Amino acid sequence: MNLSIVRRTLAPVAVASAAALVLAACGSDPDTGNSSNESPDGDNSEGSDGAGGGDLSGTLNGAGASSQESAVQAWIAGFQGQNPDVTVNYAPEGSGAGREQFTSGAVAFAGSDAALDEEELAAAETACGAPAVDLPLFIDPIAVPYNLPGVDNLQLGPVTLANIFNGTITTWNDPAIVADNPDATLPDTTITPVHRSDESGTTENFVEYLAAAAAEAWTYEVSGEWPADLPGEAGAQTPGVIAAVQAAEGTIGYASAAAVGDLQTAAIGVGTEFVEYSAEAAAAVVDASPRAEGRAENDIVLELARDTTESGAYPIVLVSYTVVCTSYADPAVGDLVKGYVGYVASDEGQQAAAAAAGSAPISPELQAEVQAVVESIEVG
């Protein structure tokens, strides 16, 4: 009885004091939060005033191609290393999704395996308030790995390659392959071509090459999806293709060069010679490629020269663009985009991507062009 009276009378007191404590804690929390928030806010305005390196802050959002993902990861890490107060997010949801979000103004930049088309350019101009531009900042050589023990340095001309993938050539000792490899001893193993089972920019670039370099052998529609009625096996995404090629003898596939690992890769016929993939050879074909016509001066869209005969150029490459506005109304976002894309186009950024994603650094000339475009981005 006594005890309960004590508890009853004390309870409200206890509750009140507890509440007071909590309130005090709550009260002090926003205070400290405010004071600690003030400095980044200050930095932010400073950053937008004088966009110098190293003192940017804020959050930058992008979305798009998954082909760029590991390169973008490296770029983000490098850029955030230079600017510790910056957070860059990149959602690798696919090129289409990236362009869609960019043209609707949801993200500040997009990664895309294809440049914006006319419709998208118009939508982007509405969202940006100024034209958008495509910048080719990621060059990924696509290798042709094969699994045929005892056969090194396989060489394949474009028509032979197309005929292998369309099912016309079915054994490794086919006369066409023998003609490309006069010195090799080829077994009569059945060829199992392996393609991607998902829709992908790698497939699109590979078949675009086949259609351009071996038009008579490759008559299928060029798209990110492999023609359904062709024979062969499929693997889910790049690791799936690599796993399938590793799993059985006689297989041949195509995949981002960074992913092929220990597998042997074929040298591709260009003109009269056969070229192994390499960063330089991939960058060479990009330099040999003319600009797409009907584009704005600063919109760097390449018409890749798939059928190039230039010596030392490797024609099967994927070029992925970084899409940005030429003007940003929000100075904070604009400065971040300039800083980030400037870093991506720099030597350091390109080397970081080469190390992390096996991409080919863009040539100094292209680099200078891109930097000029980045410099011209209007902020505010």
Partner 1 sequence: MTTTEPPPTERPAVARRPKTRPGDRIFSRSAQVAGILILVILAGVAAFLVREALPTFTADPSEIDGGKGFFSYVWPLVFGTLAAAVIALIVATPLALGIALFISHYAPRRLAQGLGYIVDLLAAIPSVVFGLWGIQWLAPQVQPAWGWLADNLGFIPLFSGPASATGRTMMTAGLVLAVMILPIITAVSREVFLQTPTLHEEAALALGATRWEMIRMAVIPFGRPGIISGIMLGLGRALGETMAVAMVLSTGGFTWSMVTAGNNTIAAEIALDFPESSGLKTNTLIAAGLVLFAITLAVNMFARWIVSRRSEFSGAN
Question: In the window 222-281, what residues touch partner 1 (CB under 8 A)?
Answer: 224-225, 228-229, 231-236, 240, 243-244, 247-251
Minimum Å gap between C-beta 97 and partner 1 is 6
Is residue 11 close enough to count as binding partner 1 by CB under 8 A?
A: yes
69 binds partner 1 (CB under 8 A): no
**Which C-beta is closer to partner 1: that of 320 or that of 326?**
320
192 touching partner 1, by CB under 8 A: yes
Token look-up 């008559």 returns 219
Q: Could you tell me which stretch among 87-95, 132-140, 172-180, 361-369 binds partner 1 (CB under 8 A)? A: 87-95
Tell me the window of 4-12, 149-157, 209-217, 279-287 that interacts with partner 1 (CB under 8 A). Answer: 4-12
Question: In sequence order, what are the beta bridge partners of 275?
Answer: 268
Judged by beta carbon, residue 94 or residue 334, the one nearer partner 1 is: 94
For the chain, helix (H) and strand (E) counts, in that order, are: 12, 16
Spatial distance between the Cα atoms of 103 and 324, rounded to a whole number of angstroms: 10
- Block residue for tokens 């399938």: 244
Sign, CA dihedral 129-110-338-80, equals: positive
CB atoms within 10 A of CB 77: 12
With binding defined as CB under 8 A, does residue 151 bind partner 1? no
CA 338 to chain centre: 19
Minimum distance from residue 33 beta carbon to partner 1 (Å): 26
Give the whole-angstrom CA distance, residue 319 versus residue 302: 9
Stretch that binds partner 1, among 38-46, 131-139, 194-202, 208-216 (CB under 8 A): 194-202
Residue 112 backbone phi and psi in degrees, to 5: -150, 140
- Closest to partner 1 by CB, 158 or 232: 232
Contact between 94 and partner 1 (CB under 8 A)? yes
| 51 binding partner 1? (CB under 8 A) | no
Smallest CA-to-CA distance from 337 within 103, 163, 126, 83 is with 83
Q: Give the span between the Cα atoms of 94 and 63, in whole angstroms.
A: 8
Please identify, among the stretches 155-163, 188-196, 274-282, 286-294, the one whose residues bind partner 1 according to the rule CB under 8 A: 188-196
Could you say whether residue 111 binds partner 1 (CB under 8 A)?
A: no
**Positive or negative, the Cα torsion across 91, 97, 99, 100?**
negative
Q: Half-sphere exposure of residue 265, counting CA atoms within 13 Å on the CB side? A: 24
- Where on the chain is the footprint of partner 1 (CB under 8 A)? 7-8, 11, 15, 66, 93-97, 99-100, 190, 192, 194, 197-201, 224-225, 228-229, 231-236, 240, 243-244, 247-251
